[in-house]
A and B are shown apart, each in its own frame.
Chain A
Amino acid sequence: MTEYGWLFATLFLPLFPLAMVFNFVFQRAHNSVLRVALLLLWPMVGLWLLDNVVKQVPQWVMYWALASVLLYSVRMLVVREVGIWVGFLATAGWGLVWLSYSESSSAATMVLHVMAFSLPLVLLISLVMQLERFHGSVFAGVVSGVAQNHPRVAGLIAISVLAAIGTPLFPAFFSMLIHVAQSMAFLPVVTIGIGVVWLLWSWSGVRLLQELLVGAGEVGAKQDITIAMVALYAFFLVLIIAAGVYFLGRML
């Protein structure tokens, strides 16, 4: 069991093709609480396996992980359903943990890397739920002009997407920077791969925002969240930034 324990871990720190299981479950979970729970807990199982069960991970798993992360990053480019997009980005982001994993990696560090992607996505999913309340579903392109009709939600969605795709000063930025630094030291080819992944996320993230936020909007559909809710989200974002700078920024 312990010899192949890493194989089970690839289900929870998802690598293709086992990543399809996570995405299948995530897409079928329509309850927001369940989605949030999946984003927070699913990778934790993988980290627990890595920390407690896995003895050794073959080096080629790193290349498998890079290929898997690249695959999901390319697939994200045309995704317009925000729920699917979140699942794909979570898959790609968590998969990066394999690139910097070694027997000496501390569990706390890996939790920080995973949370750097999970937390902004939790925020995004909760905002998407708000939009679903207004429109029934959130399919970018079909639902458009959100910035006109729901400016507060639009602003928060924009910031959450930026946080998830590794924009400074959010934790995902520092996490990516650490992955780049660690891989550069032993395998520069992997570093190039990480760079391409980062670029693909930027592309897909901003395309999603464009499809969702830009446009004339529906006439008479102006609804928005309250100022108190905005303050709550803003507080959460500031907290994420502070935690990222403090915990991950220090590791640089």
Chain B
Amino acid sequence: MQQLILLIVALPFFAALIIQVLPHRLGRRAATVSLVVGWLVLLLAAVGLSLALEGNQAIEARLYDDVAVLRIDPLAAVMILVISAISLIVSHYSVRYMVEEPGYRRFFALLSAMTGVLLLMVSAGDLLTLLVAWHLVGVLLYFLLAFDTRSKSASRYALWTWMTFRFGDLPLILAAVLLYQAFDSWSFVEIFRQLAAAPDTRTIFDLRLVDVAGGLIAVAAFARSAQFFLHTWLPYTMSGPTPVSALMHAGIVNAGGFLVNRFAPVFVETSGVMHWMFVVGLATAVIGSVLMLAQSDIKKALGYSTMGQMGFMIMECGLGAFSLAIYHLIAHGLFKGTLFLGAGGVIHEARKSDGVPKDPMYGFIVEKNTAPSRKPWLLMAGLTLIVPAAILLGAHWLVAQDFYQKQGAVVLLFFGWVTGAQLIFSAYRMGNAKLGRLFAQVVISFAIVILGYSMIGHAFDTFLFPDEVFRASIYAAAEIDVLWFDLLVMVVTVIIVAGWLHTYYHERNGRRTGKIFSHLRFSLYVAISREFYVGDIYAWLARHLERLSVRLNVWMRWV
């Protein structure tokens, strides 16, 4: 079985080497090598996952003592399958998409190498291998994003990505060194075993090791998953080839969620780190979604959408729903990959027809359409609030009846509730003549999604973390004082109910805003359109550091 994991990791590197070393003989067939190896790896990944599903012990291959360890446990098995599948789809898409690009073979060599490094990252059984792979993902992504060596802009934005990734590498290095120094081993199994036995181990400045290491790992995850303040690279890397954007948004950016899951035994002992993850994730989810709505460029909007989704994923981790974050990253990877690969087609279609819906007033006056009838706003607001809540509660009651004991799960329920309500509100605003039918379709779709989400989420939970006590302790690590939690639940419920009633009322009776609110809205819009000035601040800092560098060099005569 050791050969299985060695083959999974080694084959893509082998393909990259063949493509790079024998370019002239291969010609355009470079893609074939990549595809054949891709299919082979996918097949082996499926075997690995089936073995893990059968409940076999983790497969491990040790190349040298407790470093260079490869390991397929349930988390690695799932991630290997996801990476190999997404990589294969992207490779297939690239065969024709990239055919007229110079450096066709180089692209496939880089793509295969990136697949290999990602597989190495998720199957790393020790800290050192993880560090190497984590670092190399950033290196290869830089070269993929700056693939067009004639384009200065692609290269400039690839540099942003490179710097953010490097910034994220450092905390992981520090955390790895701290864990190694505390437990005298690089092996995850050994470190986690010792950590469980002595969770209060102290480190620098007499701080708790788990809190320092957990905090550092969280920052590394934030940088890789484009959390607020470390997100600017994500929406601006659209100058790279579309397949790279797809791979990045469907796979690479999800690494933060994987990292948190890999270090679950560390996070489970932390006090406060997961709360910070929740706050950062929530802020990113909200800001990413707001920025997405303000974009006019489809690829940039998708970029900010990914940022919002990554925020939600990190937030799930902060709530203790680690396995749900894995399910989320898979689901998001698949739909975002599809959207990116389809973006070119959408742009092509939009050139023929802009697809902007006709103004209802135009329809009424010119086309003589009858105005759609509106249902009573209070009834619709009530349905908007009650129906999603009922579906969510019902679905979770069916899947796991102890669900309500977990604070994190209750918070997620709120997000589901708001999302469902937004869905119904959107259907209401469409003003469709057949509102009842549309409403039923929306509700049924929502119910199917929620039931599926709950069932698969629960299945992931038991598969990734089979130990029930450990599962419960992850949720427990994310909890806050019960009194405060209940108070927050009540306040948030009141805000949501009042917010929707207010929204429906104004939707029906027209919106009136005072001068002060108009001014505030305008200021907010300006800030959003400037993307909260985060990119500007970084550019300002970089400019000043470079000026300092020039001055120092001039003073010291460049020696």
Contact = CB atoms under 8 A, between A and B. Distances in A.
B326 interface: no
A173 B550 CA distance: 28
Given A78-B553, A203-B163, 5 more contacts: A77-B545, A177-B131, A195-B173, A199-B170, A202-B163
Which of B135, B143, B156, B174 is packed against the most chain A CB atoms within 10 Å?
A: B174
Interface string A202-244: 1100110010011111000000000000000000000000000
A185 interface: yes
Which of B156, B170, B545, B552 is packed against the most chain A CB atoms within 10 Å?
A: B170
Contact of A78 (B143, B173, B204, B549): B549
Nearest to B176: A177
A167 interface: yes
Interface string A32-61: 000000000000000000000000000000
A215 B149 CA distance: 6
A23 interface: yes
Nearest to A182: B177
B158 to A, nearest CB: 8
A168 B131 contact: yes
A147 interface: yes
A69 interface: no
B139 interface: yes
Interface in B163-222: 163, 166-167, 170, 173-174, 177-178, 180-181, 186, 204-205
A169 B170 contact: no
Task: Classify the secondary structure of A's interface with B.
Answer: helix
29 contacts: A20-B559, A23-B558, A23-B559, A24-B559, A27-B559, A74-B545, A74-B552, A75-B553, A77-B545, A78-B553, A148-B150, A167-B135, A168-B131, A168-B135, A168-B136, A169-B132, A180-B173, A180-B177, A185-B181, A198-B170, A199-B163, A202-B162, A202-B163, A206-B159, A210-B152, A210-B156, A210-B159, A213-B149, A249-B67
Interface of B: 67, 128, 131-132, 135-136, 139, 142-143, 146, 149-152, 155-156, 159, 162-163, 166-167, 170, 173-174, 177-178, 180-181, 186, 204-205, 545-546, 548-550, 552-553, 556, 558-559
Contacts of B152: 210, 214-215
Contact of B549 (A77, A167, A199): A77
Contacts of B151: 214
B155 A214 contact: yes
Contacts of A216: 150
Interface of A: 20, 23-24, 27, 71, 74-79, 84, 145, 147-148, 154, 158, 162, 167-169, 173, 177, 180-181, 184-185, 188, 191, 195, 198-199, 202-203, 206-207, 210, 213-217, 249, 252
A46 B151 CA distance: 44
Given A181-B181, A206-B142, A75 B556 contact: yes
Contacts of A145: 149-150
Contact of A75 (B128, B167, B181, B549): B549
Given A20-B556, A203-B163, A215-B150, A252 B549 contact: no
Contacts of B549: 74-78
Nearest to A23: B559
Nearest to B128: A252
Given A84-B558, A145-B150, A252-B128, A75 B174 contact: no
For the complex of A and B, 10 pairs with smallest distance between CB atoms: A147-B149, A168-B132, A23-B559, A77-B549, A214-B155, A202-B166, A78-B549, A195-B170, A20-B559, A24-B559
B139 A167 contact: yes
Contacts of A84: 558
A83 to B, nearest CB: 11
Given A84-B558, A147-B149, A210-B159, A181 B180 contact: yes
B272 to A, nearest CB: 20
Contact of B204 (A77, A180, A184, A249): A184
B23 to A, nearest CB: 10
B139 A188 contact: no
Contact of A71 (B131, B146, B180, B552): B552
Contact of A180 (B149, B162, B174, B559): B174
A188 B546 contact: no
A162 B140 CA distance: 11
A148 B545 CA distance: 31
A76 to B, nearest CB: 8
Contacts of A180: 173-174, 177
Contacts of B162: 202, 206
A182 to B, nearest CB: 9
Contacts of A215: 149-150, 152
Contacts of B178: 184
Contacts of A217: 150
B139 A195 contact: no
Contacts of B132: 168-169, 173
A61 B132 CA distance: 32
Contacts of B205: 188
Which of B150, B166, B204 is packed against the most chain A CB atoms within 10 Å?
A: B166
Contact of A184 (B135, B177, B553): B177
Given A20-B559, A79-B553, A202-B163, A214 B146 contact: yes
B548 to A, nearest CB: 7
Nearest to A144: B152
Contacts of B204: 184, 188
A159 to B, nearest CB: 10
A9 B204 CA distance: 32
B149 A177 contact: no
